[in-house]
């Protein structure tokens, strides 16, 4: 194989100048040579970089996946090499169009459920928040843990979105893509909102937004993150807002008459697959319980 004809020597120089390791360079050149061999054998014509189109690369990717049965990670490494190679050729004016520019890799990672709180950590955080006697903290905690709202949704809750009656309540949430959902309010959430609103009234706050900072302005994402960081530092527990969302989803699944569709509606997921990851967590919990059984 004439490496000069395919600009492989120049490609190696390019990789060296970009501080690629010797192992990466060796892998890249091997992967490029593999593609050239595939191209000439499949199409019965001489390999000319400028004649390659995206369909050729897609066919090669499918060949590796379906015929050679290679792993997704292996195929993605070869795609990475091809992307780098054709980018080099185009950026140096050797070819006009880059056929690999929009070539997609094989998806390797299935959605995994986010990490949640252990029961003891969750109780510790709740105890800490309630002992602070700060109604703002309490309402933030209860909204995150018993409605499953995202931080972006939390800071955009307006008073008009909340309905509280003697024995029930509802929260109207505008989520991603302006999709609306309604979340019934747990008694603890209703109590927290009422107590917080009493604080607001004493401070003569007239904002339409529910959560107001000490400067009497609507909370920002960074403002909520500062509160959570304070909780994390004082309790020595890792806290991320999505962990509350995770906790909420698991609690819902553990209640009677709730299923994956319930989680999808309450969390505002676009697809059922996004909610299904919580089923996996519950299965893992069941497996741990079984494994923990002693001989009897």
Q: Do 130 and 232 share a structural domain?
A: yes
Q: Do 233 and 161 share a structural domain?
A: yes
CATH (domain of 24): 1.10.150.130
Q: Do 266 and 133 share a structural domain?
A: yes
Domain count, the chain: 2
Is residue 206 in some structural domain? Answer: yes
pLDDT tens-digit series, residues 63-86: 998 898 888 889 999 999 999 999
Is residue 111 in some structural domain? Answer: no
Q: Do 128 and 84 share a structural domain?
A: no
Q: Do 123 and 224 share a structural domain?
A: yes
Q: Do 125 and 87 share a structural domain?
A: no
User: What's the CA gap between 58 and 191, in Å, rounded?
Assistant: 58
Is residue 103 in some structural domain? Answer: no
CATH (domain of 284): 1.10.443.10
| 296 pLDDT above the threshold of 60 | no
Is residue 98 in some structural domain? Answer: no
Q: Do 63 and 126 share a structural domain?
A: no
Q: Do 71 and 175 share a structural domain?
A: no
Query: Can you give the residue range of the structural domain that contains 43?
Result: 8-91
Q: Is the pTM of this model over 0.75?
A: no
Q: Do 237 and 155 share a structural domain?
A: yes
Is residue 210 in some structural domain? Answer: yes
| 44 pLDDT above the threshold of 90 | yes
Is residue 96 in some structural domain? Answer: no
User: Two tokens at 38?
Assistant: 């595939």
pLDDT tens-digit series, residues 191-208: 999 999 999 999 888 899
Is residue 56 in some structural domain? Answer: yes
Q: Do 156 and 81 share a structural domain?
A: no
**Residue 52: predicted pLDDT:** 95
Is residue 143 in some structural domain? Answer: yes
Q: Do 156 and 85 share a structural domain?
A: no
Q: Do 126 and 196 share a structural domain?
A: yes
Average pLDDT of every residue of the chain? 84
| 179 pLDDT above the threshold of 80 | no
User: What's the CA gap between 196 and 183, in Å, rounded?
Assistant: 19
């Amino acid at each position: 194989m004439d490496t000069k004809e395919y600009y492989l020597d120049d490609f190696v120089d390019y990789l060296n100048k970009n501080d690629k390791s010797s192992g990466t360079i060796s892998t890249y050149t091997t992967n490029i040579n593999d593609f050239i061999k595939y191209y000439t054998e499949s199409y019965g014509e001489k390999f000319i970089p400028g004649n390659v189109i995206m369909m050729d690369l897609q066919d090669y990717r499918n060949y590796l996946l379906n015929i050679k049965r290679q792993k997704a990670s292996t195929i993605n490494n070869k795609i990475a090499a091809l992307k780098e190679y054709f980018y080099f050729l185009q950026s140096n004016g050797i070819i006009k169009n880059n056929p690999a520019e929009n070539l997609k890799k094989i998806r390797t990672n299935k959605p995994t459920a986010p990490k949640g709180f252990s029961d003891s950590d969750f109780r510790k955080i709740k105890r800490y928040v309630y002992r602070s006697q700060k109604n703002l903290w309490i309402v933030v905690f209860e909204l995150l843990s018993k409605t499953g709202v995202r931080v972006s949704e939390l800071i955009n809750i307006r008073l008009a979105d909340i309905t509280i009656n003697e024995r029930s309540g509802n929260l109207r949430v505008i989520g991603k893509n302006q999709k609306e959902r309604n979340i019934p309010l747990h008694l603890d959430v209703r109590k927290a909102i009422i107590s917080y609103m009493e604080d607001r009234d004493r401070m003569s706050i007239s904002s339409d937004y529910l959560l107001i900072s000490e400067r009497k302005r609507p909370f920002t994402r960074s403002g909520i993150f500062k509160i959570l960081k304070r909780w994390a530092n004082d309790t020595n527990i890792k806290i991320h807002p999505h962990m509350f969302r995770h906790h909420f989803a698991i609690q819902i699944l553990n209640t009677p008459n709730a299923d994956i569709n319930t989680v999808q509606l309450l969390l505002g997921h676009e697809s059922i697959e996004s909610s299904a990851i919580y089923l996996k967590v519950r299965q893992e919990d069941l497996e741990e319980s079984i494994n923990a059984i002693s001989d009897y």
